[in-house]
Structure 1
Amino acid sequence: MNDQQTLPLYTELHEGVLTIVLNRPRVLNAMTLEMFSLLKDAISFAATKEEVRVVIFRGAGGNFCSGADLSVLSMLSESDQAHQALTIINDFLLQLHHMPKPVIAVVEGAAVGAGLNLALHADFVLAAKEAVLQEPFVHIGLTTDFGGTYLLPRLVGMAQAKRLALLGEKISGSEAEKIGLIYKAVDAAALEQEANQLAKVLLRMPRLAWETTKMGLTACLELNMEEALAWEKQQQPKLIAHPEFQTVIRQRLKKE
């Protein structure tokens, strides 16, 4: 085994795709404070390095992630430690939220609590049909966190968000696709192939146009229609003038 793969989190870069692996399979990849710092470093690397075009999150050992480790939860009971821990966690989440490049989460087995919400921060969540997804916070006397209160209503609407967050129901990957929580659910045996195919599609996309569009979709969640149209008016002329767009148009004209 590669020495790196004995770490609680490791990365692999191959042909433009940076894979980030949560690697504590014996505890279903529960995330420690150290892992949050490593996640922040990995996303910072991915965002700034030209050779990284696509990011994939996955878990080791047949599960995605069971949420925050008990060591993190115990820290949150002490105010000073809670401030330190939540600052690290929130810095990572904001960095991931504004990540310009494509992010895919590949979910098999369990994706629970903060583990599920980590996946939902991705642009595309691919899950095994039989994967188990849950927001269990209310069952243990806590509120949904890790950005879940922001993400859930925007992804599935308030009625389904309340079902997930206030009832804490377990749902399958298939059900998650049905209600619009994730991009796609596939047979577990096809998950790897589907993830690789999606990464290849994203690698072929015009980079600046893709990143600008993602930025717009993220920003427009907080904008009204007038502000959204103003944002589009500002961005589109810059993209039209960019060589990327001009190259695509020339190629299409040649085919006609």
Structure 2
Amino acid sequence: MDETILVDRRAGYRVVTLNRPDRMNALDKPTLHALLATLADAEADEACRALLLTGTGRGFCAGADLSTVGNSDGIGRDVGAAIEETWNPLARRLHNLRMPTVCAVNGVAAGAGANIAMGCDIVLAARSARFVQAFSKIGLIPDCGGTFHLPRLVGEGRARALALLAEPVSAERAEAIGMIWRVVDDAALMQEAEAVAAQLATLPTQALVLTRKALRASAQNSFDQQLDLERDTQREAGYTPDFAEGVRAFMEKRPPVFTGRKA
């Protein structure tokens, strides 16, 4: 993999680190392609049952690398073409990954960087972290899934204000309004995030992904539609080896040993 993306393989999960600290981990086209390849590689590894995403240096991710705008490697005037080539595939890959994802926000998460973080299942942030929907400052709209994730996490009223005003949100405020799961002291961030990823890697992966699917659908479904979805996804979960193992372990009064396999 490209050196701008670091991969650390752990027991049951991978730590993926954005590694452009001189650019606050802003993503240019080659780095975006490298990140997509890294996620695809993790997904293809059956031993990988969780993924932890973080960044090096003072910031998690400053979003798109605007220094490349207008050159041969840049996005040019047709921003929609860049969205279709890289940012949308990244948002979709994160959204549909076959394993749970954890994000450890170690500093500023701005623009698409904030939306990459919100695209993960569980987000922890260092106390010094900041989130900002910086798009209106350069005449753009939130992308990389931001208009999808933000109102679902914080409500439409807050989402409008955050997107239009582009005001920074502290980690404590982000936790208070439901944007993230937990604030952690800076020195303890990675230890806490790795513990969460390691825990997820021991849980029934298929059930976790099906739970995520059902929760996402609830905003659009009627009550009866959601009950039908619960029935269908529960049926799918019931056929996994982890369900059988969970029942056996309960009856035998021992901790379950889940494999995360579909069959």
Both proteins in one fold, TM over 0.5: yes
What is the match of residue 228 of structure 1? 226
Q: CA RMSD in A?
A: 2.0
SS in structure 2 at match of 1:94: helix
Matched, 1:62 2:58: yes
CA distance in 2, matches of 1:22, 1:249: 40
State the 1:239 CA deviation.
2.2
Asked whether the 8 Å contact 2:75–2:82 carries over to 1, the reply is no
State the 1:76 CA deviation.
3.8
State the 1:225 CA deviation.
2.7
CA gap 1:239/1:82 in 2 versus in 1, 3 angstroms = closer
Q: Where in structure 2 are the equivalents of 1:76-91 lying within 5 Å?
A: 76-79=75-78, 82-83=80-81, 86-91=84-89
Which one of 206, 212, 215 corresponds to residue 214 of structure 1?
212
SS in structure 1 at match of 2:63: coil
State the 1:10 CA deviation.
2.3
> Counterpart amino acid of 2:65?
D
> Counterpart amino acid of 2:155?
G
Deviation sequence 1:95-140 (CA, Å, 0-9, x none):
2111120111111121111111111100011101121111111122
Asked whether the 8 Å contact 2:53–2:102 carries over to 1, the reply is yes
How many equivalent residue pairs?
A: 251
What is the match of residue 175 of structure 1? 173
Identify the range of structure 1 (241-250 vs 70-79) with the bigger mean alpha-carbon deviation. 70-79
CA gap 1:216/1:100 in 2 versus in 1, 3 angstroms = farther
Q: Which runs of 5+ in 1 are unaligned?
A: none
SS in structure 1 at match of 2:59: coil
What is the match of residue 249 of structure 1? 247
SS in structure 2 at match of 1:57: strand
CA distance in 1, matches of 2:86, 2:169: 30
State the 1:195 CA deviation.
0.8
Identify the range of structure 1 (114-123 vs 92-101) with the bigger mean alpha-carbon deviation. 92-101
Asked whether the 8 Å contact 1:66–1:110 carries over to 2, the reply is yes
Q: Where in structure 2 are the equivalents of 1:109-188 lying within 5 Å?
A: 109-188=107-186
> Counterpart amino acid of 1:53?
R
State the 1:226 CA deviation.
2.7
SS in structure 1 at match of 2:124: strand
Asked whether the 8 Å contact 1:130–1:174 carries over to 2, the reply is no
TM superposition score normalised by structure 2: 0.88
CA gap 1:238/1:141 in 2 versus in 1, 3 angstroms = closer
What is the match of residue 94 of structure 2? 96
State the 1:38 CA deviation.
1.2
What is the match of residue 53 of structure 1? 49
Asked whether the 8 Å contact 1:100–1:214 carries over to 2, the reply is no
Q: Which runs of 5+ in 2 are unaligned?
A: 255-263
CA distance in 2, matches of 1:67, 1:96: 15
CA gap 1:78/1:241 in 2 versus in 1, 3 angstroms = closer
Q: Where in structure 2 are the equivalents of 1:39-50 lying within 5 Å?
A: 39-50=35-46
TM superposition score normalised by structure 1: 0.90
CA distance in 2, matches of 1:150, 1:72: 26
Identify the range of structure 1 (239-248 vs 92-101) with the bigger mean alpha-carbon deviation. 239-248
> Counterpart amino acid of 1:16?
G
State the 1:212 CA deviation.
1.6
State the 1:61 CA deviation.
1.3
Q: Quick one: percent identity of the two aligned structures?
A: 34
Identify the range of structure 1 (219-228 vs 27-36) with the bigger mean alpha-carbon deviation. 219-228
State the 1:82 CA deviation.
4.8
CA distance in 2, matches of 1:181, 1:29: 21
CA distance in 2, matches of 1:152, 1:84: 21
Which one of 31, 37, 58 corresponds to residue 35 of structure 1?
31
What is the match of residue 201 of structure 2? 203
